[in-house]
Structures are given as structure tokens and as C-alpha cells.
Homo-oligomer: A and B are copies of this chain.
């Protein structure tokens, strides 16, 4: 059965609830971020889940690591993405792919929210926070040290 999720405005869809950001796994701290579940096995029968996350201005997601991959499409706003050992500025329609074991974090700009789609397989391992050693290494990379929040 085909589905059509109508976007209303500003990262809200008809009949889609706003949920808390994290329900599984662990990571470092996060700030001002919500989750909306758009597609998943229970609605579309797909093997993946399509979620939308929105980070308010000045907020950020957890810095986290896991074996499953993330594919992200930025929907709106502006921010910074930590992708492994790099930090990149991101805006609408940028596409990011995070491979297994790569630390990552999304941070909204101070003046703009950051909304993005995130695609994951339905069967996936739980995110974890970086170890102290991993965090020390990441903080040793100047472009990451400037932006990462834990």
C-alpha cells in the first residue's frame, strides 16, 4: 500500500508525532533535538527506517559511534557535521554518509535550526559514546576540537 506523508511546514508532517531524541544506546550529551519517525517496518514494511531529526539553534546531537551506517540528507537550516575525523559545514540538500565505527555528531548553527533525514537499517547495533581514548584522539584534531560538544 503506497504511503504519502504530507509535509506541513518546518519539518512537521501530517499524522507524524514528535518523539524524544533517544530511546536506545548511549552517546555523549545532546541538546534541543527531537525525532520524528517517518517510515519503518511497521508502516511501510521496509527493511530500513527513515527518521527526521531537528536540532534547534545552538543544539546538537550526541557524539556517538556504532557499527551500522547512517545516511543523512539535510532538509533545512545550517550547521556543522562531525564525520569521522572531519568537521564540515552543512546546509539544505547536502548528503552525508557515515561508515561503520566512525564517530559523528550534528550541531545546529547558533542562529539556525538544523533539520535532517536519517536513514538506518531496522536491525542495527546500539550507539555508544566514544571511549576516553577515542575522545582524546578526536580532541587532538584541531578542526574537531573547535566544534565538538560532549
Interface residues of A (CB under 8 A from B): 1-7, 11, 13, 38-39, 43-46, 48, 50, 69, 71, 73-75, 81, 83-84, 86, 88, 90-99, 102, 104, 117, 119
Partner of A73, one of B2, B43, B45, B73: B73
With A71-B39, A119-B119 already in contact, the answer to whether A3 and B97 are too (CB < 8 A) is: yes
With A44-B69, A71-B46, A117-B73 already in contact, the answer to whether A4 and B93 are too (CB < 8 A) is: no
With A44-B69, A69-B44, A119-B119 already in contact, the answer to whether A2 and B39 are too (CB < 8 A) is: no
Partner of A95, one of B13, B69, B84, B88: B13
